Chains A and B, each alone.
Chain A
Amino acid sequence: MKQRNPKPQGLAYKRLPRRALVLGGLQAAFIGGLAARMRFMQVDQADEYRLLAEENRINVRLIPPTRGRIYDRNGQIIGQNSPSYRIVIVREDAGDIDKVIAKLTDLIPLNEDEIERARTEMRRSAPFLPVTLVDQVTWEDISKVAVNAPALPGVTPEVGQTRQYPRYEDFAHIVGYVGPVSDYDLSQIDDPEPVLRIPRFQIGKVGLEARQEIDLRGKAGSKRVEVNATGRVMRELDRQEGQPGADLQLSVDADLQQYAQARLAGESAAAVVIDCETGDLRAMASAPSFDPNLFVRGISVADYQILTQDKYRPLANKTVQGTYPPGSTFKMVTALAALEAGIVGPGTTVYCPGFLKVGSRRFHCWKRGGHGMVDLNTSLKRSCDVYYYDVALKVGIDKISEMARTLGLGVKHDIPMSAVRAGLAPNQEWKQRTHGEEWLIGDTANASIGQGFMLASPMQLAVMTARIATGRAVSPRLVRSIDGIEQPTGAGEPLGINRTNLDYIREAMWSVSNDRRGTAYRSRIIADDFRMAGKTGTSQVRNITKAERAAGVIRNEDLPWERRDHALFVSFAPYDNPKYAIAVVVEHGGGGSKAAAPVARDIMLQALYGGTPPLEAYPAGDRERIKEQQKRLEGDRRPKARPDEKDRA
């Protein structure tokens, strides 16, 4: 190798040291540059930096953004920010903390748990950082502390902002509530914004507040402040304003919501009013409810237990979280599926002897003696079960399930509320997949009258009714505008269901409410412009045994509450030009015509008249009773005086 090519090899050996020296020179120059920079910073500018670091440490403080407010569709305030007072303590200034806290306890009521928590926080943070002792203090207590300031070194009252819900129970389920950021919350968010680390910064925990958190929160500002060695702010150097959260306007009408909530009081029930034209949810009442302000403040264990142990489940939002067998309100779906499949026409009749034998099993009609000859209109009007068993067996479950989905059952409607459930519109494939069993013909019979596996939330039932009323794929909208920007409406495209078939169903629903023999005739609307069309439903939550059937089915009133039937009612009005659709579910309320229909009618009238309706809209026989009821509800709806508000006045 050496002999073959000596010259170039020599050249390469010469070139390497040369290039190494060039590279070494560059490196030396860079190191020189670093040294120069270090000298510049540490010698020439040292005083400046030391000033920043030592005598006047610069702190960057966050300015928490103002949370966006929440309004109803008419601009009434639903969620707002109100000043809140808290007492903070600076460990370094306080000296003997125990003594100071003892003095403070003499002045104002202090919670043992809170003191303990504050102590741990003080141990962990720097001595010059303020730690909150008590939050949400009344004005009276704040003044006591202010007056006694000289005796309480290191203790200062501070003012901040807290969320406040002036409509109390009415919007608890829709809007939810905020609460201080917890460690758990932080662990759920990757790359949390620094603002979330401000102690007690409030973020949405449940409901709209949680789902629209990013819109509502806004962006934190910051200020650079000079602080002295004890951490006291000497002066503010500059500030960068944050961006307040966006205001939200709901589609809900606060007055109607309040009425619905009051009308449902005393029951475990839900009512949803939806605008047929836009899909706007006008009211979403779930009873019983709770005061969200309790959660903002930090609910006491006792109060929380009352809420969780109540068998009416006040914390559950029954409008979207509660799913119920839709019962007879599902019959429109079965009927439409059959009409669309061309299996029945309006004139097709079925004989109802009170039961239908499917295989070896008898499927009973709710009416013991049967309805005799029944056509489509009569079957809905009088809610004959046998007609639907018969029709459903011909159509098959898959078509029924498909129609249910078309009408918005068994599909999830995405509205910004917590735990929105999809319900269930089962088909053969579903049962095979989840139960590993064949779909039985009996399952079809059960499903045809909205029993068995079928499940729907009140909101879904309202959507279904609105879709039947309009023939369009109306979808619910809860937020009307964000920061003044209108959100898309849920008017929807035509469903593609034959117009005449829909008209048969709507006519039958009209008969339910307005025909003397209709199941909801007693809860009709008299006013000509506002005629209502509806459908009752009663869904069983227990099996009726053969023996019981023979001895006579036990009346609901004689059963314990948990075993009574759910009462349901869906309707739309005005019949000619549908404006609103409503669904009401009264848990274990008994029969749909008795327990749910009157509620739905009252709420519907309230919506149609945009306030208390005239008595003339009611059937003559009911007016006395309604007058009483209106007076009573008016009393309930008067704003309740809260003790803490008086304190702050």
Chain B
Amino acid sequence: MSYLEYAVKSTPSGFRKFLYMNWPLTLLLVSVASAGFLMLYSVAGGSWTPWAEPQMERFGLGLAAMFIIAIVPIWFWRNMSVVAYLGSIVLLIFVELFGTIGMGAQRWIDLGFMRLQPSEVMKVALVMVLAAYYDWLSPQRTSRPLWVLIPVALILIPTFLVLKQPDLGTSILLLAAGGGMMFLAGVHWAYFAAVITAGVGLVVTVFNSRGTEWQLLKDYQFRRIDTFLDPSTDPLGAGYHITQSKIALGSGGWNGRGFMEGTQSRLNFLPEKHTDFIFTTLAEEFGFVGGITLLILYGMILIFCMVTALSSKDRFSSLVTLGIALNFFLFFAVNMSMVMGLAPVVGVPLPMVSYGGSAMLVLMAAFGIVQSAHIHRPR
């Protein structure tokens, strides 16, 4: 669809664009973020510093970014996709060479006011470039092998770079998001069946490589898998996180122990309680009711994205919106599975709630694109 076609249809212009934004979605994002502020206030022992206040400032920044991105027509973002993708690749290579070492992996670039994680940017850039690719590709070619190989390469290059950092969690998320995009675009079922079979084969190989010279994962990654499978093997090291997290979560009960009353988080039993494990604090203090409320909020965000996507007749808009929703889903699904002891500890934050600038800003920018798709959808 070209700019001319946009002009022919009556899309809102100027400040009227704000009226046509997906306001329920915006409201949902604000409520989830507010839940985050509350939890950060609580884990700091009832203090706005050191986490809640900077987080609010960043959310404000993210909100502004979202509005700005939203009023720019969606076709502009489609044209920017390749630039965003290539830029992210360059950043990933840059951190590989010069990145600061944090938690044993090269992950971020220090920008002074915040730390930029290129792998976070890549999550959105990958979705954009794949959406643009399938928008461009004529649909009857979608399942031809050559035209399947190109998106596969687009997915594997950043996945490999992120895996080298090493950041297993993010690379799996990239694979899943990329695969999801191809699925949405209508690539034939048989490809997915083949990849899943091969994937199972790969997992078996990775486990067999352990202890040999060509070991495919770092020792700590194997240990995390071990502890996940049986947390009691290492009650002081990595298993400690899972054990304590489960205790905190379970002890929340039906309505929780009350705001700022969670003993597990108060007594420092919880690790990383302001980042990856923040959900346990919420579940401990607000119980099942609090946890399920957050889950419902998340689910509603997904539903609103889905509605935007399906009501749009523009292929790029639909794909990019669904892709961003999928990414968002993967974020909280992996994080919650992790703290509930259903998945290994892979270091994925809870979206919009966990403390951390990079992930939140990128997510808000991504929702800006969703909003843009919503505003500029052909009616």
Residues from chain A with Cβ under 8 Å of B240 in the complex: 60
The CA of A622 and the CA of B247, in the complex, are separated in Å by 81
Tell me whether A102 is interfacial, beta carbon within 8 Å. Answer: no
Tell me whether A649 is interfacial, beta carbon within 8 Å. Answer: no
Residues from chain B with Cβ under 8 Å of A240 in the complex: 235
* A35 in contact with B263 (CB, 8 Å): no
Q: How far is the CB of A98 from chain B (nearest CB, A)?
A: 26
Residues from chain B with Cβ under 8 Å of A194 in the complex: 236-237
* A9 in contact with B298 (CB, 8 Å): no
* B184 in contact with A42 (CB, 8 Å): no
Residues from chain B with Cβ under 8 Å of A9 in the complex: 138-139
Interface window among B162-170, B248-256, B355-363: B248-256
* A30 in contact with B333 (CB, 8 Å): yes
**Among A16, A27, A58, contact of B302 (Cβ-Cβ < 8 Å):** A27
Interface residues of A in 26-74 (CB under 8 A from B): 27-28, 30-31, 34-35, 37-39, 41-43, 45-46, 48-50, 52-54, 57-58, 60, 62
* B254 in contact with A34 (CB, 8 Å): no
* A5 in contact with B183 (CB, 8 Å): no
In the complex with contacts A27-B302, A194-B236, A34-B340 CB distance below 8 A: yes
The CA of A39 and the CA of B340, in the complex, are separated in Å by 11
The CA of A163 and the CA of B325, in the complex, are separated in Å by 61
Tell me whether A234 is interfacial, beta carbon within 8 Å. Answer: no
How many residues on chain A are close to B (CB under 8 Å)? Answer: 45
In the complex with contacts A34-B337, A38-B291, A126-B267, A52-B283 CB distance below 8 A: no
Tell me whether A554 is interfacial, beta carbon within 8 Å. Answer: no
Residues from chain B with Cβ under 8 Å of A34 in the complex: 295, 333, 336-337, 340
**Among A8, A16, A23, A42, contact of B315 (Cβ-Cβ < 8 Å):** A16
The A/B interface has a contact count, at CB < 8 Å, of 131
* B340 in contact with A38 (CB, 8 Å): yes
The CA of A48 and the CA of B251, in the complex, are separated in Å by 8
Tell me whether B74 is interfacial, beta carbon within 8 Å. Answer: no
In the complex with contacts A12-B315, A31-B295, A53-B302 CB distance below 8 A: no
**Among B263, B298, B313, contact of A57 (Cβ-Cβ < 8 Å):** B263
Tell me whether A224 is interfacial, beta carbon within 8 Å. Answer: yes
* B236 in contact with A19 (CB, 8 Å): no
* B236 in contact with A49 (CB, 8 Å): no
Residues from chain B with Cβ under 8 Å of A224 in the complex: 235
Residues from chain A with Cβ under 8 Å of B138 in the complex: 5, 8-9
* A42 in contact with B336 (CB, 8 Å): no
Q: How far is the CB of B302 from chain A (nearest CB, A)?
A: 6
**Among B249, B263, B333, contact of A42 (Cβ-Cβ < 8 Å):** B249
Chain A residue, CB-CB nearest to B180: A23
The CA of A54 and the CA of B267, in the complex, are separated in Å by 11
**Among B142, B184, B250, B254, contact of A49 (Cβ-Cβ < 8 Å):** B250
**Among A11, A38, A58, A222, contact of B295 (Cβ-Cβ < 8 Å):** A38
Interface residues of B in 91-138 (CB under 8 A from A): 104, 138
Write out, one digit per residue, whether chain B residues 314-357 have a CB within 8 A of any chain A CB (1) or not (0): 01001100100010010001001100101000000000000000
* A53 in contact with B263 (CB, 8 Å): yes
* B326 in contact with A49 (CB, 8 Å): no
Q: How far is the CB of B340 from chain A (nearest CB, A)?
A: 5
Residues from chain B with Cβ under 8 Å of A19 in the complex: 183-186
* A46 in contact with B254 (CB, 8 Å): yes
The CA of A19 and the CA of B291, in the complex, are separated in Å by 29
Which residue of B139, B183, B319 has the most chain A CB atoms within 10 A of its CB atom?
Answer: B139
Tell me whether A362 is interfacial, beta carbon within 8 Å. Answer: no
Write out, one digit per residue, whether chain B residues 246-284 have a CB within 8 A of any chain A CB (1) or not (0): 111111111000000001100101000000000000010
The CA of A46 and the CA of B254, in the complex, are separated in Å by 8
The CA of A37 and the CA of B246, in the complex, are separated in Å by 11
* B139 in contact with A42 (CB, 8 Å): no
Q: How far is the CB of A97 from chain B (nearest CB, A)?
A: 21
The CA of A5 and the CA of B333, in the complex, are separated in Å by 40
**Among A15, A28, A41, A222, contact of B250 (Cβ-Cβ < 8 Å):** A41
Tell me the interface secondary structure of chain A in the complex: helix
Tell me whether B216 is interfacial, beta carbon within 8 Å. Answer: no
* A24 in contact with B306 (CB, 8 Å): yes
Q: How far is the CB of B344 from chain A (nearest CB, A)?
A: 16
Write out, one digit per residue, whether chain A residues 238-264 have a CB within 8 A of any chain B CB (1) or not (0): 001000000000000000000000000
Tell me whether B299 is interfacial, beta carbon within 8 Å. Answer: yes
Tell me whether A436 is interfacial, beta carbon within 8 Å. Answer: no
Tell me whether B288 is interfacial, beta carbon within 8 Å. Answer: yes
Residues from chain B with Cβ under 8 Å of A621 in the complex: none
Tell me whether B292 is interfacial, beta carbon within 8 Å. Answer: yes
In the complex with contacts A8-B138, A16-B315, A42-B186 CB distance below 8 A: no
Q: How far is the CB of B6 from chain A (nearest CB, A)?
A: 15
Tell me whether B309 is interfacial, beta carbon within 8 Å. Answer: yes
Tell me whether A643 is interfacial, beta carbon within 8 Å. Answer: no
Chain A residue, CB-CB nearest to B279: A38
Chain B residue, CB-CB nearest to A14: B186
Chain B residue, CB-CB nearest to A240: B235
Residues from chain B with Cβ under 8 Å of A43 in the complex: 253-254, 288
The CA of A113 and the CA of B315, in the complex, are separated in Å by 74
Chain B residue, CB-CB nearest to A41: B250
The CA of A220 and the CA of B318, in the complex, are separated in Å by 56
Residues from chain B with Cβ under 8 Å of A22 in the complex: 183
Residues from chain B with Cβ under 8 Å of A24 in the complex: 302, 306
Tell me whether A20 is interfacial, beta carbon within 8 Å. Answer: yes
Tell me whether B368 is interfacial, beta carbon within 8 Å. Answer: no
Tell me whether A552 is interfacial, beta carbon within 8 Å. Answer: no
Residues from chain B with Cβ under 8 Å of A31 in the complex: 295, 298-299, 333
Tell me whether A17 is interfacial, beta carbon within 8 Å. Answer: yes
* A53 in contact with B247 (CB, 8 Å): yes
The CA of A316 and the CA of B306, in the complex, are separated in Å by 75
Q: How far is the CB of A570 from chain B (nearest CB, A)?
A: 47
Residues from chain A with Cβ under 8 Å of B319 in the complex: 16
In the complex with contacts A16-B186, A126-B267, A52-B251 CB distance below 8 A: yes
Q: How far is the CB of B189 from chain A (nearest CB, A)?
A: 10
Residues from chain A with Cβ under 8 Å of B253 in the complex: 42-43, 46, 50
Residues from chain A with Cβ under 8 Å of B142 in the complex: 12
In the complex with contacts A8-B140, A194-B236, A41-B184 CB distance below 8 A: no
Residues from chain B with Cβ under 8 Å of A20 in the complex: 184, 306, 309-310, 318, 322
Tell me whether B287 is interfacial, beta carbon within 8 Å. Answer: yes
Q: How far is the CB of A3 from chain B (nearest CB, A)?
A: 14
Chain B residue, CB-CB nearest to A20: B322
Residues from chain A with Cβ under 8 Å of B104 in the complex: 191
Chain B residue, CB-CB nearest to A60: B235
Q: How far is the CB of A21 from chain B (nearest CB, A)?
A: 8
Q: How far is the CB of A379 from chain B (nearest CB, A)?
A: 57
Residues from chain B with Cβ under 8 Å of A220 in the complex: 236
* A27 in contact with B329 (CB, 8 Å): yes
* B340 in contact with A41 (CB, 8 Å): yes
* B139 in contact with A12 (CB, 8 Å): yes
* B236 in contact with A42 (CB, 8 Å): no
* B342 in contact with A37 (CB, 8 Å): yes
The CA of A43 and the CA of B291, in the complex, are separated in Å by 12
Residues from chain A with Cβ under 8 Å of B184 in the complex: 16, 19-20, 23
A-B contact pairs, 29 of them (CB 8 A): A8-B138, A12-B139, A12-B142, A13-B315, A19-B186, A27-B326, A27-B333, A30-B333, A31-B295, A34-B295, A34-B333, A34-B340, A35-B292, A35-B295, A37-B340, A38-B295, A38-B340, A42-B249, A42-B250, A45-B250, A50-B253, A52-B251, A53-B263, A57-B269, A58-B247, A60-B235, A194-B236, A222-B235, A240-B235
Partner-B contacts on A (CB < 8 A): 5, 8-9, 11-13, 15-17, 19-20, 22-24, 27-28, 30-31, 34-35, 37-39, 41-43, 45-46, 48-50, 52-54, 57-58, 60, 62, 126, 191, 194, 220, 222, 224, 240
Since A23-B183, A27-B329, A53-B251 are in contact, a sample of 13 more A-B pairs with Cβ atoms closer than 8 Å, ordered by chain A residue number, is A5-B138, A5-B140, A8-B139, A8-B140, A16-B186, A19-B183, A24-B302, A43-B253, A43-B288, A45-B250, A52-B251, A60-B236, A194-B236
Top 9 A-B pairs, shortest CB-CB distance:
A49-B250, A12-B139, A53-B251, A46-B253, A42-B288, A8-B140, A15-B186, A50-B251, A49-B251
